[in-house]
Amino acid sequence: MALHTPDQLTERLKRRSVDIRWRGQALDDVTEHPAFAPTLHSWGTWLYQAAFDPETAPTMVAGPDLNGEQSHVFWHMASTVEDLEQNLAAARLLAERSPLAGYASIGRDELQALLIVTHRLDADRGTGYHQRVRDYVSRFQREQLMTAAAVTDVKGDRAKRPAEQDDPDLYLHVVERTAEGIVVRGAKAHTSGSVGAEELIVIPTRAMRADDADYAVSFAVPVDAPGLTLIARAFNAGSDSAWEAPISSHDELAETLTIFDDVFVPYERVFLLGEWEYAGEVANTFASVNRQGYLGTESGKLRLFIGAAQRIAELNGVAGVGHIREKIAQLIRLERSIWALGVAASRESSCTPAGYQVPDPVLTNAGKHICMEGHFMATRLLLEIAGGAVTTAPLAEDLLADDIRPLVEKYLRGADPEQTWERLKVLKLIRDLAASEYSGYWNTEIIHGSGSPAAEILAMYRETDLGACKRLVERALSGREAIMPPAGAAA
Amino acid sequence: MALHTPDQLTERLKRRSVDIRWRGQALDDVTEHPAFAPTLHSWGTWLYQAAFDPETAPTMVAGPDLNGEQSHVFWHMASTVEDLEQNLAAARLLAERSPLAGYASIGRDELQALLIVTHRLDADRGTGYHQRVRDYVSRFQREQLMTAAAVTDVKGDRAKRPAEQDDPDLYLHVVERTAEGIVVRGAKAHTSGSVGAEELIVIPTRAMRADDADYAVSFAVPVDAPGLTLIARAFNAGSDSAWEAPISSHDELAETLTIFDDVFVPYERVFLLGEWEYAGEVANTFASVNRQGYLGTESGKLRLFIGAAQRIAELNGVAGVGHIREKIAQLIRLERSIWALGVAASRESSCTPAGYQVPDPVLTNAGKHICMEGHFMATRLLLEIAGGAVTTAPLAEDLLADDIRPLVEKYLRGADPEQTWERLKVLKLIRDLAASEYSGYWNTEIIHGSGSPAAEILAMYRETDLGACKRLVERALSGREAIMPPAGAAA
Amino acid sequence: MALHTPDQLTERLKRRSVDIRWRGQALDDVTEHPAFAPTLHSWGTWLYQAAFDPETAPTMVAGPDLNGEQSHVFWHMASTVEDLEQNLAAARLLAERSPLAGYASIGRDELQALLIVTHRLDADRGTGYHQRVRDYVSRFQREQLMTAAAVTDVKGDRAKRPAEQDDPDLYLHVVERTAEGIVVRGAKAHTSGSVGAEELIVIPTRAMRADDADYAVSFAVPVDAPGLTLIARAFNAGSDSAWEAPISSHDELAETLTIFDDVFVPYERVFLLGEWEYAGEVANTFASVNRQGYLGTESGKLRLFIGAAQRIAELNGVAGVGHIREKIAQLIRLERSIWALGVAASRESSCTPAGYQVPDPVLTNAGKHICMEGHFMATRLLLEIAGGAVTTAPLAEDLLADDIRPLVEKYLRGADPEQTWERLKVLKLIRDLAASEYSGYWNTEIIHGSGSPAAEILAMYRETDLGACKRLVERALSGREAIMPPAGAAA
Amino acid sequence: MALHTPDQLTERLKRRSVDIRWRGQALDDVTEHPAFAPTLHSWGTWLYQAAFDPETAPTMVAGPDLNGEQSHVFWHMASTVEDLEQNLAAARLLAERSPLAGYASIGRDELQALLIVTHRLDADRGTGYHQRVRDYVSRFQREQLMTAAAVTDVKGDRAKRPAEQDDPDLYLHVVERTAEGIVVRGAKAHTSGSVGAEELIVIPTRAMRADDADYAVSFAVPVDAPGLTLIARAFNAGSDSAWEAPISSHDELAETLTIFDDVFVPYERVFLLGEWEYAGEVANTFASVNRQGYLGTESGKLRLFIGAAQRIAELNGVAGVGHIREKIAQLIRLERSIWALGVAASRESSCTPAGYQVPDPVLTNAGKHICMEGHFMATRLLLEIAGGAVTTAPLAEDLLADDIRPLVEKYLRGADPEQTWERLKVLKLIRDLAASEYSGYWNTEIIHGSGSPAAEILAMYRETDLGACKRLVERALSGREAIMPPAGAAA
């Protein structure tokens, strides 16, 4: 593919006529709206730009795509161990510069899962989904489509499955099948980045049973298809100062409640339709692929934490203190563990009959679970190292006021009076990472993004070969001269 | 004392002419400013009101004060175990309704420490500080003065003591002694609540050495004394919607960088002047008293967390799920441990020769340290139980728009469609507590408020009777027929 | 009661004719057997002696018993807050000298629960159990009977209740009711200390349902009653050197699998018989009382850990190192938290209609759960501070050999060559506490003694007033000018 | 090399005349002594056998050695990423069958470090150490010498460096240099496996300074060289029943205090002599190599834990319970993290100018630190899942007694009466792993083996490229339109 530029993307986004609501109003052009600028940067222009930036391009440009052209790694389907390693490295590299950008591969991850599962489904059932997915991927790559993933249903009563809900629309489902396609109804929650997407890729959120068949549906749809409404939540509208928010002023992820009010989808865009036995496999394969990306992203974000911790310790004059070093070493240990799980998930990945690679599910789930717990420890350690000035330091306007600035310069210095401004900047960066509305967003994202911790626990247990571990116990017991049950004993 | 009303406080605050700066501007009347309303509520009107509210008054009204009248517990000096128990219960009760209000006793805590240490100082040196403190306390109680605590110096190079800094003003110090009083210069950081205070009470932030004598100074000063400038940081200006921020719209704690530019203090308000040997004792006694209040406050705040966790679990239909119950039990275990440390710190408190009571320092420091670690676990558990909608649910204006409201009502319901609004409200409450700028403030406050974790570690080690523990080891070794070192052996 | 002496106890134990098996053999006189000496010391002679030892007696001697005489605190029924405080202090005091001795109150704790529950049962049903319990307690106190608690059934399939098991004997049950009494069959596991007991006190291990009625049985029985067989597990037989095992050579707790092969119990010793609705209450009340004792015991044991950690740090020359002090402070924090939960459980205990006091169940369960987790952290920290010589230092016989001793003295010294022997002794003490078969026993005991962690989690959740916490949430939401659901909205 | 057989090893060990002391006595033939059998099995015969066993041989047999022959992987010097991967896999495979066998590569790891550092040293100084090491390695491989590592000095005052000690012998040092070689004096602690070794390989334990030059010494010496005395500590002598101790009856690691009383070493066996600047590099390179082996070993051991946990859960009838599965998932998460750090340490290893490979030091140290913390969590979880019968189940002799066996069979069953014996065996296995003297040994070994946690913290901090992390912070701050320091501002 000819790599697309950020400007091409912006131009295409302007051409959409999407029904986006925000604060009760319909938005005309989201690309001009300040509340959405950080999302459009992080999940949009910066992402496309990274394939041209000399520092990032070597990691961002991947091998040939389905059309035989070079591709952006976030549009590339992994078919080797090395592809997965590149995915991981790319997520980290993007995240080091704009943490949430590391998650923008989610549409690709859904397609990777669909390529794999439809291949098996077709083999089992003689259906023809796989080619449809390939065709779609071919266009996805050729046009470098910006996609968002619509996965999590709104769910109503969390203790009930789709067909058990008292309102049938609480999971997205097929309400009509016409000659040309299907009509779907329902809503997906937490659709990250959809405000800046051209297409939504929809997959089931969980395993299903026979009576859930109408809920076993997957497809792609333009974000401005008739019947689609996006109710947006952009968290930091207003706190847009680059001084107060050096990261979140360009890195955000607007979410939408995405409503499908009888949306029509032609069959060539439908990738699963009623084969409920495969719904769980799509969801789980997607999770294995997507959660590996979390490991790269978290590694990148934690490297920012480590750099900020070391820098503020130097500026405060305490970089040589034992317990400060120990805390930084704890951050390092955390980051290295997460990274290592990402590396090992590539090395121990498996190749599917479809020819695409899946990271090891136990390793990715273990890693995601550690990201989740570790984020809160990392936040605490960073703030402990930095000190209370993180939240009490004056605001930007104070620093610009002629009568206040000298006081701030005199009194808010650290060890070196020449570095007062540097110290204030680093404090504000730390505030943004660990004590702000943006950090609050991360709190939730790292827990619930790509599935809950409870789902990760379940996946680790389910995907481990417990039989192999039990055989070690058997061997330990049988190979020795253990006391023998007396003749006639029960066992 | 006749208990003072919220209106009396507001009227008095309006009469001040304080030099407060915010966003580069001098503020005329902080009591009318929306950015400071939550602080003036939590640390002001609500605090005074609690002594009249029938539900809270029994805990808030304390026994006779120095003037022989009944008093508000946050103005009462503890001289019995029961007084400390009431302090703890009052902090919890206030915090259950407005978490940061639990911290408003800080001025009282400084005075409690000064009463104790000056008594010993006078006994050692024949000075007359104790009567000055008593006179001040008497007025503090009679007028129910709203105070703020100026404790933490700006510190410059954190690896150096006051006298070692290259700028002598990086710790507050005496620059002149006149016939009537002293002149002080320097700055205190993180002065919580000063925007709504009438008086600042200043104590040393740490132990000192002989060459730090000019830094060993304590006094009280009106917040509008000539030479005082307060540069304010109010975190949530703008996010004032009671829907989005049900707690922080009325509960905040504006902080100031408080600059003393040659402020004059008459001798009758000076409580320590050069007796550097006592600086550490003032700081440590204050810490023991003040950190017990953290335990009450954190217990109250965590009870909000527990209630929110249980409520959202019910609304989501998962209150019967094992791992949800286990997570709520973890929150309970945390809250109970902190509360218990507060209770035990009262029971094992000691009475000083001055007649005032000090909570056990090891128990209070242990509790504060657990508050700090536990806050991050509690945030994680609450968010895990609640789900991602905490940060992705629509904004208030969406709910008021006629064309969006029905969609939200249909799709954001939980188990019971009648309780959709209740569910949304609880989600927003959880956002406020755990994923907002307000929660970011707590992240830092719980770590650095009333001293850093490193100081708590040191205090626990220093204040424990390790000799008693070592004697148990000796007894274990000596009382048995242990092998004896052969005759002539080294020991 | 006239306090009984250790010799009186030993004499009485000798008079029993108990069926104890060990290593496949029937034991004639367990009081003469070296494998059981540590148990008989810790749960026997030392316990009785502590009421005479001038250092321990003030804590061990309690107020009047049912017979109006002074009593040993481990035989005293608590009816005030102060009684519970004394129970806690006594458990700690004993444990500081012999850790497992802190658990010896378990028979008393069962009787305390039975006094309380039978009082309510009689009031509900007009039965006469309470007086039987009182009569038994009166004798228990008068004769200062050494008892053991038979609580945990062997349970078979852990997923099934008593009546659901395929073998009816897997929970202890009534097999016959005669004119004079009942006949019981079954087995109790983990009967701690029974080898040195005169009586077994039996209570149900869990809540029951109607079809479990025959399993709802409680009684007291002499340990040498016909039909009783005790299969003993004494862990350290052989490693009896006071040098290698300075604690466990006098502190152990032999456990038995206790088999009731149609044992007859006269009615005056039967305290529950078929009233299945009360079985859970007996078990839970017992747990609340007994788990408070764990808090005292663990506090005492941890004080040994703290003393050992500080002592070995001094001997190794590293007591001034920052991370060593931090680790000791972590041990202190743990010990103080556990102790505080014990103190608060007394302060917030409730008095039952029977006149006896129950510690707060949430606080005791929270404390027990922290004991369990904390034990493993404490083991790790103590070993980290001590160094590898804990397990690699030479054995006692090496130190007695003339040609080896000088080498050991030269090379295994620490900072001070005069204290080599002291260092070796402390290393062995640490080995005993943290890296021995005895420490392995503690690993299991601290988890499963007095109920599993899962039971504690459940108890904390069940016993907390979640309604009160939810009301705080309601207040936070209702008292504010929150956005109102529009007219006609669902709620 | 022709792979050597277990019998060849045993025969050679018998030919040694080593001065081993145990319990005050000199041992004639350690190969016949029951107390040492588990060590000689785990670090000896089983290790050699594994290269012949069809199940293990593919992992144990490595590529050509220095003599051009195939080699046992524990005698092979790694020069590629794949070699390191094989090292890791081999440690795990051995540990799954005999956990401590995973550590037996320690002599190889020292030689790997010496090959690397002497190459650089010779290049810097023109010395000829590298060839001596190669010659020794060639013989080490050809004869498949069983070695032990003498690394940790006895250290005296831990706060002082070698030359600062008041007794010069507290670190091993050169006391004489003759024409043919050197004479050394001192003692090494914790010499694992030396009782079954043919040779000791000695390296410095830490970085040194100029006045420590005589302590900067490395060499190889036969274990029966004149002047060498080994004072042994074998922990489980006596508890040799394969029933009670199914793992430790064949898996142990006897340690010695190894005394060098003026031992002569010819120059061809001396690998460092006075070049103090290189002492730290030898120690650190060795640590990086050796700690990777810990990751393989711990992974293998934890797989036994996981198998045992799952097996006992099934036997108890609770394998389907949510919190049991969650605990097993926690064990899995731990094992996978450690393994992943081992994998990544190979993938991100570096090749040295000498041609040999070093695992990434941050990853290996992070992994070792997690092993240490995780071991105690794993012990706790395994015991919690298994239940209290781990320590209270009857002893082997009880099961053999005709009158006791039926009682045990009836009452100690789990869910399935046919599997009572299996359940008892698994309980005993868990006792051995988590609640025995053997588990106590592991407690210390996992903390202090191959260096202390404090050393790992330091290594992680020191070896991380903090500059790269700080540059991310710089980029985040500089690339944005951050407020500019006003003209004339300090920075």
Instruction: Map out the domains of chain D as residue ranges.
Output: 282-466
SS3 C276: helix
- B422 Cβ neighbours under 8 A, 6+ residues apart: B315, C491
pLDDT of residue B237: 53
Per DSSP, the residues of A337-395 read HHHHHHHHHHHT-EE-TTS-EE--HHHHHHHHHHHHHHHHHHHHHHHHHH-THHHHSPP
Does B485 score more than 80 pLDDT? no
pLDDT in tens, B211-253: 999 999 999 999 999 999 999 998 755 545 788 899 999 999 9
Q: Which of C437, C446, C458, C460 to mutate to test the interface with D (most CBs of D within 10 A)?
A: C437
Q: What pLDDT score does B488 carry? A: 47
The residue ranking higher by pLDDT, C397 or D368, is D368
* C-alpha torsion angle, residues A382, A383, A385, A390 (rounded to 10): 120
Q: Residue A136 has which token pair? A: 């779609």
pLDDT band at D174 (very low <50, low <70, confident <90, very high): very high
The answer on pLDDT for C262 being more than 80 is yes
Q: Which of C332, C418, C422 sits opposite B362 (nearest CB)?
A: C332
What's the rounded mean pLDDT across residues D329-342? 98
Q: Which residues, in sequence order, are CB contacts of B403 under 8 Å at separation 6+?
A: none
**D476 chain-A contacts, CB cut-off 8 A:** 97, 246-247, 304, 429
Mean pLDDT estimate for chain B: 94
pLDDT band at D395, cuts 50/70/90?
Answer: confident
Residue C397's pLDDT is 84
> Where is average pLDDT lowest: A272-281, C62-71, C200-209?
C62-71
Measure the CA–CA gap between D177 and A447, rounded to whole angstroms: 64
Cβ distance D332 to A409 less than 8 Å, yes or no, reads no
Give the per-residue pLDDT at A9. 97
Question: Does pLDDT of B180 surpass 80?
Answer: yes
Residues of chain B found within 8 Å of residue C249, distances taken between Cβ atoms = 480
Tokens describing residue B341: 């440390």
- Which residue on chain A is closest to B435 by alpha carbon? A440
Nearest CA in chain C to A322: C322
Residue D114 near chain A (CB below 8 Å): no
pLDDT-derived band of residue C36, with 50, 70 and 90 as boundaries?
A: very high
Quick one: pLDDT at residue C236? 59
State the average pLDDT for chain C: 94
B451-469 as b/e, with b when 16 or more CB fall inside 10 Å? bbbbbbbbbbbebbebeeb
pLDDT digit string (tens) for D22-77? 999 999 899 999 999 999 999 999 999 999 999 999 999 998 888 889 999 999 99
The secondary structure of residue A486, as a DSSP letter, is P
* Measured distance CA(C201)–CA(C110) in Å, rounded: 7
CATH T-level fold of D282-466: Butyryl-CoA Dehydrogenase, subunit A; domain 3 (1.20.140)
Long-range contact set of residues D52-55: C-beta below 8 Å, sequence gap at least 24: D52/D3, D52/D5
Asked if B388 and A187 come within 8 Å (Cβ–Cβ), the reply is no
Chain B residues 160-189 with a CB less than 8 Å from chain A: 160, 166-167, 169-170, 187, 189
- Angle subtended at Cα B172 by Cα B257 and Cα B170, rounded to the nearest 5 degrees: 75
Quick one: what percent of chain D has pLDDT higher than 90?
89
Buried b (16+ CB within 10 A) or exposed e, C210-247: eebbbbbbbbbbbbebeebbbbbbbbbbebbbbbbbbb
Question: Residue C62 is which amino acid?
Answer: A
In the prediction, which pLDDT does C243 show? Answer: 85
Q: Give the pLDDT band (50/70/90) at residue D293.
A: very high
Which residue out of B103, B424, B443, B458 would a mutagenesis test of the A interface target, given it has the greatest number of A Cβ atoms within 10 Å?
A: B443
Residue C300 near residue C94, CB atoms below 8 Å:
yes
**Amino acid A479: pLDDT:** 64
Query: Which residue reads 């367990």 in tokens?
Result: C30
Distance, CA of B242 to CA of B246 (rounded, Å): 5
Q: Do residues A304 and A282 touch, judged by C-beta distance below 8 A?
A: no
What's the average model confidence in pLDDT over D124-144?
Answer: 97
Exposure letters D313-339 (e unless 16+ CB within 10 A, then b): bbbbbbbebebbbbbbbbbbbbbbbbb
In the chain, the amino acid numbered A480 is: R
Residue D15 burial by Cβ neighbours in a 10 Å radius (0-12, 13-18, 19+): exposed
D377 touches chain A (CB under 8 A): no
Residue B486 clears pLDDT 60, i.e. is over it: no
pLDDT bin (cut points 50, 70, 90) of residue B184 is very high
d(CA D424, CA C485): 62
pLDDT of amino acid A7: 97
In angstroms, the Cα distances linking D196 to A288, C36, D31, D38 are: 47, 36, 8, 11
Q: Quick one: pLDDT band at residue A490, thresholds 50, 70, 90?
A: very low
Choose the mutation target among B333, B373, B402, B480 for the interface with C, i.e. most C CBs under 10 Å: B333
Residues B247-299 pLDDT 10s: 999 999 999 999 999 999 999 999 999 999 999 999 999 999 999 999 999 99
Q: Is A323 touching C (CB cutoff 8 A)?
A: yes
What sign results for the dihedral spanned by CA atoms A161, A163, A165, A167?
Answer: positive
| Residue B486 contacts D, CB cutoff 8 Å | no
B297 Rama class: left (phi>0) / alpha (psi -120 to 50) / beta: alpha
Question: Is A429–D473 a contact, with Cβ atoms under 8 angstroms apart?
Answer: yes
CA angle C252, C255, C256 (to 5 degrees): 155
> How many Å apart are CA D254 and CA D193, to the nearest integer?
6
Give the range among A273-277, C122-126, C393-397, D220-224 with minimum mean pLDDT: C393-397
Place of tokens 């009787």: C111
Residue A488 predicted with pLDDT over 50: no
Mean pLDDT of D437-443: 95
**Comparing C-alpha atoms, which of D31, D39, D110 is closest to residue D74?**
D110
Contacting subunits of A (3+ beta carbon pairs below 8 A): B, C, D
D483 CB neighbours in chain B (<8 A) are: none
> How far C92 CA lies from chain B's nearest CA (Å)?
12
CB C395 within 8 A of CB D437: no
The pLDDT > 70 percentage for chain B reads 96
pLDDT at A261 over 60: yes
The answer to whether B400 faces chain A, any CB pair under 8 Å, is yes
With respect to CATH, is domain A282-465 assigned 1.20.140.10? yes
User: How much is the pLDDT for B234?
Assistant: 85
pLDDT tens by residue, C283-327: 999 999 999 999 999 999 999 999 999 999 999 999 999 999 999
More confident residue, C397 or B430: B430
pLDDT band at D341 (very low <50, low <70, confident <90, very high): very high
Which tens digit of pLDDT belongs to each residue from A177-234? 999 999 999 999 999 999 999 999 999 999 999 999 999 999 999 999 999 999 999 8
Contact at CB, D337 and A339, closer than 8 angstroms: no
pLDDT confidence of D125, banded at 50, 70, 90?
very high
Q: Which of A323, A324, A384, A483 to mutate to test the interface with C (most CBs of C within 10 A)?
A: A323
Beta bridge mates, B71: B62
Is residue B257 within 8 Å of residue A411, measured between CB atoms? Answer: yes
Residues of D with Cβ-Cβ distance to C238 under 8 angstroms = 238-239
- B323 has a chain D CB within 8 A of its CB: yes
Among D195, D231, D375, the residue to mutate for chain C (most C Cβ within 10 A): D231
> Which of A436-440, B480-484, D179-183, D245-249 reaches the highest mean pLDDT?
D179-183
Q: Which residues of B touch D322 (CB under 8 A)?
A: 322-323
Cα–Cα distances (Å) from A5 to A96, A106, A391, A427, C484, in that order, read 21, 20, 38, 34, 47
* pLDDT number for residue A234: 85
* Amino acid at the residue C103: Y
Contact criterion met (CB < 8 Å) for B307 and C469: yes
Q: What percent of chain C has pLDDT over 70?
A: 96
Q: With pLDDT > 90 as the criterion, what percentage of chain A qualifies?
A: 89
Nearest to A391 by CA among D206, B256, C30: B256
Q: Which chain D residue has its CA at the smallest distance from B326's CA?
A: D323
Across the interface, of C154, C390, C394, the residue whose CB is closest to D411 is C154
* CB contact B409 to C (< 8 Å): yes
Q: Is C23 on the interface with A (CB under 8 A)?
A: no
**B52: contact with C, CB 8 A cutoff:** no
Q: Which residues contact A370 (CB under 8 A, 6 or more apart)?
A: A334, A337, A338, A341, D333, D337
> Between 3.40.309.10, 1.10.30.50, 1.20.140.10, 1.10.10.10, what CATH number should domain B282-470 receive?
1.20.140.10
d(CA A432, CA A301): 12
Backbone angles phi, psi at D225, to 5 degrees: -65, 145
Q: What is the overall mean pLDDT for chain A? A: 94
Mutate to test the interface with D, among A461, A463, A484 (most CBs of D within 10 A): A461
As a whole number of Å, the CA-based R_g of chain C is 25
Least CB-CB distance to B435: which of A23, A160, A441?
A441
Q: How far apart are CA D203 and CA C243, in angstroms?
A: 33
Query: Using a CB-CB distance cutoff of 8 angstroms, which residues of chain D are in contact with residue A399?
Result: 483, 486
Q: Supply the pLDDT for residue A190.
A: 95
Neighbors of chain C with 3 or more C-beta pairs under 8 Å: A, B, D
Task: Please give the single-letter amino acid code of residue B21.
Answer: R
Q: How far apart are CA A489 and CA D399, in angstroms?
A: 11
**B323 contact residues in D (CB cutoff 8 A):** 322-323, 326
For the residues C363-383, what does the mean pLDDT come to? Answer: 98
pLDDT at D491 over 60: no
| Measured distance CA(D226)–CA(C464) in Å, rounded | 71
Q: How confident is the model at residue D236 (pLDDT cuts 50, 70, 90)?
A: low
The first and second tokens of residue D328, run together, are 């097993």
A304 vs D369: CB contact, 8 Å cut-off? no
Is the model's pLDDT at D2 over the cut of 90?
Answer: no
- pTM of this prediction? 0.97
- Among residues A275, A304, A291, the alpha carbon closest in space to that of A434 is found at A304
Interval C182-199 mean pLDDT: 97
Q: What percent of chain A has pLDDT over 70?
A: 96
pLDDT at D234: 85
Q: Average pLDDT for residues A457-474, to the nearest whole number? A: 97
Q: Is the dihedral of CA C53, C55, C57, C59 positive or negative?
A: negative
Q: Does D123 touch chain C (CB under 8 A)?
A: no
Nearest to A158 among B316, B440, B444 (CB): B316
* Residue C211 tokens, joined: 């079809």
Q: Which of A283-297, B468-482, D277-291, D410-424 has the lowest mean pLDDT?
A: B468-482
Question: Do strands C199-202 and C147-150 pair parallel, antiparallel, or not at all (unpaired)?
Answer: parallel
Confidence of residue B419 (pLDDT cuts 50, 70, 90): very high
Residue B327, min C-alpha distance to chain D (Å): 11
Sheet strands side by side (includes D270-273): D147-150, D199-202, D217-222, D270-273
Neighbour tally for A465: CB within 10 Å: 11
So what's the pLDDT on residue C482? 55
Rounded mean pLDDT of C424-431?
95
Q: What is the band of B491 on the pLDDT scale with cuts at 50, 70, 90?
A: very low
Cβ contact B52:B144 at 8 Å: no
Task: Quote the CA–CA distance of C468 and B247 in Å, as a whole number.
Answer: 18
